[in-house]
Structure 1
């Protein structure tokens, strides 16, 4: 019985943490999960027993899986990122969906031989921070271009048109994006 209560408590905490990391109110998640606000509130506070037919729409609305919601604390904490190859870059996502405050940490390798400086800057909601692990990159923010080398970092509001690319070969960065930045850069934008 104690183990069941621990799992139940973990699920409740994860639902609340994921909802809050996205900046969503109870009303917002309830609407997305097609549940009443009072039902969701009672689930989060422990006043109502959690049912599978409620967890599925909650997980779907949060953009996660049942596995993530019900994973026990003793599970593997090691992240084994799979590379995602895009033209001129490879991305390794280093955080899980339930990362602290909804941020995404990624290692990105840019290759100037396969992708010259992009011609089109992007703009979207969010904040981004990166540090150059090796090589050198150019960061174009609006009309200004910054040269960032290994050991240096940059942070910026992504409402400024921006683009990053490697110069003189291969460069690797460690990037941290908030929830909105992750949605834009990792292709899971709302339709």
Structure 2
């Protein structure tokens, strides 16, 4: 690290803070680092395919298959998932759940029934819903298979991960 710091005309502590993420790199620091590493700015700042392309693996539960479409370090800890509900594989849930968090979804295919407290909403393809997950809730497909693109905040994701683990 000392050699790179010297070649880039930066202090070792500055380079260390940049490396650990405790300091944002400035353009006037990036150029000398790229030169010291004998590379281009494009190469230094490029993102690998592994950091861009997500290859989700299906997570199956009775009546629901989920594909996680975001990484664990997603912005603000949100989780994006595609879910496929198949009512022929499991009955509609009988219990309403609560957990900390917020949830948003849009129906890509079919129709979802969303029960929030005492009210039931029919959310059809092309429509969206959002709600606070501290409201007792459940959702399921009606009239055949339904597919949903959902976004949950970090608290909501932790609750759903607990469901799939056991």
TM superposition score category, shorter chain reference: 0.7 to 0.9
| 1:10, distance to aligned residue in structure 2 (A) | 5.3
Q: Which TM-score applies when normalising by structure 2?
A: 0.72
**Where do 5+ consecutive residues of structure 1 fail to align?**
13-43, 47-71
Indicate whether 1:96 and 2:85 are aligned.
no
> Match for residue 123 of structure 2?
148
- C-alpha separation in 1, matches of 2:16 and 2:144: 49
SS of residue in 2 equivalent to 1:168: strand
Indicate whether 1:162 and 2:134 are aligned.
no
| 1:73, distance to aligned residue in structure 2 (A) | 3.6
| Coordinate RMSD, CA, aligned | 2.6
| 1:74, distance to aligned residue in structure 2 (A) | 3.2
- C-alpha separation in 2, matches of 1:80 and 1:184: 23
Q: Which TM-score applies when normalising by structure 1?
A: 0.63
Q: Larger strand proportion, structure 1 or 2?
A: 2
Indicate whether 1:107 and 2:82 are aligned.
yes
Cα displacement string for residues 44-72 of structure 1 (whole angstroms, at most 9, x for unaligned residues): 359xxxxxxxxxxxxxxxxxxxxxxxxx8
> Match for residue 42 of structure 2?
none
Q: 1:7 to 1:138 in 2, by over 3 A?
A: farther
**Where do 5+ consecutive residues of structure 2 fail to align?**
25-45
8 A Cα contact 2:17 2:23, kept in partner: no
Q: Which has the larger radius of gyration?
A: 2
Task: Give aligned pairs, total.
Answer: 133
